């Protein structure tokens, strides 16, 4: 993980409670090799439709938020099963910080 003391970057608003680890990385991708990268699976079911095309209404598919380095969310971000894949996907996608009132336990250990 790359350390930082100050981050000046665009923030994407995901003003929702209980964004769980299955939203961050759906369970069907958990057996993929980390060497292949997890960025492509971040919010997969929210970013893409059944044909693999981007959903225009999802915030990270919209300019200027495609390049956001910060996510601002509501309570209980990253809740659910302890899935380090969710942390890997956020980091590999380029998200350097998540601002939320509370987090799932997986973010305390990564």
Give 51-97 as a DSSP string: TSPBPTTSGGGSTTGGG-SEEEE-SSBTBSS--HHHHHHHHHHT--E
Decide if 107 contacts 98 (C-beta within 8 A).
yes
Q: pLDDT value at position 9?
A: 95
Q: What is the pLDDT of residue 110?
A: 47
Q: Was domain 20-69+79-96 assigned CATH 3.20.19.10?
A: yes
User: How large is the average pLDDT for residues 3-23?
Assistant: 92
Q: Tell me what pLDDT residue 82 has.
A: 66
Q: Which tokens hold the place of 24?
A: 């961050």
Using CA atoms, how far apart are residues 23 and 5, in angstroms rounded to an integer?
28
Confidence grade of residue 12 (pLDDT, cut at 50, 70, 90): very high
pLDDT tens figures, 85-100: 898 999 999 999 999 9
- What pLDDT score does 31 carry? 87
Q: How confident is the model at residue 1 (pLDDT cuts 50, 70, 90)?
A: low
| Cα radius of gyration (the chain) | 13
pLDDT tens digits, one per residue of 36-89: 889 999 999 999 999 999 999 999 999 999 999 999 999 999 998 767 889 899
pLDDT of 99: 95
What values do phi and psi take at 8, rounded to 5?
A: -115, 105
* DSSP 8-class letter at 17: S
């Amino acid at each position: 993980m790359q350390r930082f003391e100050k981050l000046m970057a665009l923030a994407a608003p995901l003003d929702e409670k209980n964004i769980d680890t299955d939203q961050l990385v759906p369970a069907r991708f958990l057996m993929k090799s980390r060497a292949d990268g997890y960025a492509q699976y971040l919010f997969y079911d929210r970013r893409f439709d059944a044909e693999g095309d981007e959903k225009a209404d999802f915030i990270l598919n919209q300019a200027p938020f495609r390049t956001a380095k910060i996510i601002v969310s509501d309570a209980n971000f990253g809740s659910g099963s302890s899935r380090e894949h969710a942390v890997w996907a956020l980091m590999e996608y380029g998200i350097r910080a998540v601002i939320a009132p509370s987090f799932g336990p997986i973010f305390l250990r990564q």
